[in-house]
Structure 1
Amino acid sequence: MPDTPTPLPRVAVFVPDLSDATDRRAAVAIAHALHRDGHPVDLVAPMGGGALRATLDPAIGQIDLAKRHAATSPLALARCLAERRPAVLAVPASVAWIARLAVRLARGGIPVVTVGGTGVEAALAAIRAATPRSG
């Protein structure tokens, strides 16, 4: 009987908004690359609208926290993390403090990987390194 491949772990990507900014474009590119690799991916934002929303693959989960600003999102993000249980949370440096607070509130022990300022490949390598391995 053939072995069933182990599904890849879920990755969440939190962005402060979906405006057409450099770090947001990089986060969307990372989400697409992870999806192409076979990871289930959720892109989480305080508000779901923005120029980059139309560029997202429909297979990538789009989670709108219904908050006006990233700074008011830690509790809603914590709830999302507790519900979705990603193996890793990737965030631009500008919202890393929000992500760390949300992980503490969720009591999940989810690794936070700060992406941005580096290329997509370097960010993917950091995410893969932080992803727990089974077996």
Structure 2
Amino acid sequence: MNRLAQHPSARLSAEDLPRAVAPGWMTWIWVIALVLVGVSTAAVLFGPMDERVSAPGVVRPTDYSLVFPAAAGLVTEVPVSPGVAVRRGDLLARLDARDLERDRDTITQGVARAEAELADAQALAVQAVPQDLALQSAEA
């Protein structure tokens, strides 16, 4: 016969063996660990998070806009710096207005001359009407 089968401990059943029980303090450590994990997970999921990261980088716009002036001219001033946010209506560049002012003055003088010529023509037309009527009545 086998020597192990003759040993007294080999004849014990599984129910006769002592159970392995964790000490009471070990159970409490597991409970506390699980509670801490749950609390920290809830804090991360539901709590406010203010995280700042400093790193070099390049910011690229998602869209570009072309800007054209209403009139051609020489740029004398650019009051905005590259990278500064601007809004509709902000002054982006100032043009030299001397050429525009000279053109405006020339046009204003031309309009004044045309109005004077129109007034003279209307005055002549008013004077010509009675003369034409007198001539027509004399011929009749």
Scaled by the length of structure 1, what TM-score is found? Answer: 0.14
Scaled by the length of structure 2, what TM-score is found? Answer: 0.13
Question: Which structure has greater strand proportion?
Answer: 1
Question: Which structure has greater helix proportion?
Answer: 2
Pick the structure with greater CA Rg: 2
Structure of higher RCO (CA pairs closer than 8 Å, 6+ residues apart): 1
